[in-house]
Amino acid sequence: MKLICIGRNYTEHIAELQNEKPTEPVIFIKPDTAILLKKQPFFIPDFSDDVHHEVEVLVKINRVGKHIDKKFAHKYYNEIGLGIDFTARDLQSQLKAKGLPWEKAKSFDGAAVIGEWIPKNELPEVNNITFSLKKNENIVQNGNTSHMLWKIDEIIEYVSKYFTLKIGDIIFTGTPAGVSKVCANDKLKGFIENKEMFSITVK
């Protein structure tokens, strides 16, 4: 099982981090050890003073596929979820400045929150899903999949050129604007269409 993450997939988030708009999807991978265990708090790692939340719509792959055409991509998932890609922003900035990979900033233990799953047939069209993140009961991120630069089926087509997708693989589809630092005792709750998908405490 692997976690395949798409970076820079929402224009306003690209702007807030002053990144260059990509011409193709930005991909990185988290190991399964990055998954935050259910009902466990998120512990801020001691190597970072600036960990950011990035709420993202998730897609769970339900069959093996390689070189998947976009028109068939919808057959490779039937559940939609919500999660957080925690990012040690200070460490990421240091690595990027040296032209080094981001893994230490993105893939550390606990850096991937995976919430509940909803059958996609119980949701609006997958390219029009509203989702949000509350921090201490205040909405800090609010997005809609219609604003993705690359939509879910396009992501599956692109990713499967490089990696064989296997049953249980999860795709993090990118985060909208509003990312910010988390602090001890913060309460984070994620929602799809007003349905709570996860609730975690920061330690």
pLDDT digits (tens, 9 = 90+) for 169-182: 999 999 999 999 99
Q: Where exactly are the structural domains of the chain?
A: 3-201
Asked whether 57 and 82 are in contact (CB, 8 A), the reply is yes
Percentage of the residues of the chain whose pLDDT score is greater than 90: 91
Residues 6+ apart with CB under 8 A from 166: 1, 2, 61, 64
Nearest-angstrom CA–CA distance, 175 and 22: 15
Strands 170-172 and 3-7 turn out to be parallel
Q: How many CB atoms lie within 10 A of CB 58?
A: 25
CA distance 134 to 191: 8
pLDDT tens, residue by residue, 103-136 = 999 999 999 999 999 999 999 899 999 999 999 9
Read off the pTM: 0.95
CA atoms within 13 A on the CB side of 6: 30
CATH of 3-201, one of 2.40.30.170, 3.40.50.10420, 3.90.850.10, 3.10.20.30: 3.90.850.10
